[in-house]
Amino acid sequence: MNYLGIAAIYRFEMSRTLRTIGQSIASPVLSTMLYFVVFGSAIGGRIQAINGVPYGAFIVPGLIMLTVLGQSVANASFGIYFPRFTGTIYEILSAPLSFVEIVIGYVGAAATKAVLIGVIVLATAGFFVPLHIAHPLWVMFFLVMTSITFSLLGFIIGIWADGFEKLQLIPLLVITPLTFLGGSFYSINMLPPFWYKVSLFNPVVYLVSGFRWSFYEHSDVSVTTSLVMIAVFTVAALVTIARIFKTGYRIRK
């Protein structure tokens, strides 16, 4: 394992975040404040507690997931697309690095950024609602695994995209709608039977549900199912990336 090569990619990607740290932090903090003003205060005051949890506190896990998913995909997709755009990807491919080491460097940096943003959103939410975290270690586990899984997805998008417009296509048209419809701001148990069954085909439901359980010990689907689905998503993304590097899809062509 070429740890120096992994560290070089990781440090380079993290340095981009440090150069824009104000924007990186200010954006999620302001977004969190707006969500709590609109959903937590204006709307939350008219909604009864869900599973014994005040609505303002109930939306915290979903709000964190909304931010983490977007940040993971955006950071990873731009991180690998930019070298392709500038042509420096060939320098990386010619270096003594396996595709596993390249993925660890880029995905590791993207996931680290997403986790940091998630922690910042969590800390910001603490100023608006009283938070109760039943299982802190599980909170970090779901946060880290979700960041890694969607950073892998972002890596795939960054290779697939042949223009900056396409980098935003899937996040805007797929990821964001799935997140809003995945129980981020409501429990899918509140839906009519038909739409409840439809929601079970939304992969984000399992991420949000498991993450919310780690806070309040309440979930829309079993925690075991959430863990299995995360494992399935991660393996599927890894297999896809391995196939991409094996065939050279939009990397060597």
| Main-chain dihedrals φ then ψ at residue 133, nearest 5 degrees | -110, 110
| pLDDT one-digit tens code per residue, 198-252 | 999 999 999 999 999 999 998 899 999 999 999 999 999 999 999 988 888 877 6
What pLDDT does residue 240 have?
94
Alpha helix segments (H runs only) across the chain: 3-19, 21-35, 55-86, 89-94, 99-125, 136-160, 164-170, 176-180, 193-199, 203-216, 223-247
Considering the chain, what percentage of its residues have pLDDT values greater than 70? 94
What pLDDT does residue 215 have?
94
| pLDDT one-digit tens code per residue, 5-46 | 899 899 988 887 777 666 667 777 787 778 777 776 666 666
| pLDDT one-digit tens code per residue, 216-231 | 998 899 999 999 999 9
Average pLDDT, the chain: 87
Query: Which residues are within 8 A (CB) of 75 and not within 5 positions of it... i.e. 6 or more apart?
Result: 13, 17, 109, 110, 113, 114, 151, 154
| pLDDT one-digit tens code per residue, 117-143 | 999 889 888 888 888 899 999 999 999
| pLDDT one-digit tens code per residue, 51-78 | 888 888 888 899 899 889 988 998 899 9
Q: Using pLDDT thresholds of 50, 70 and 90, give the confidence band for residue 112.
A: very high
Q: Where are the domains of the chain?
A: 3-247
| pLDDT one-digit tens code per residue, 77-109 | 998 998 888 888 888 888 888 889 999 999 999
| Main-chain dihedrals φ then ψ at residue 251, nearest 5 degrees | -115, -50
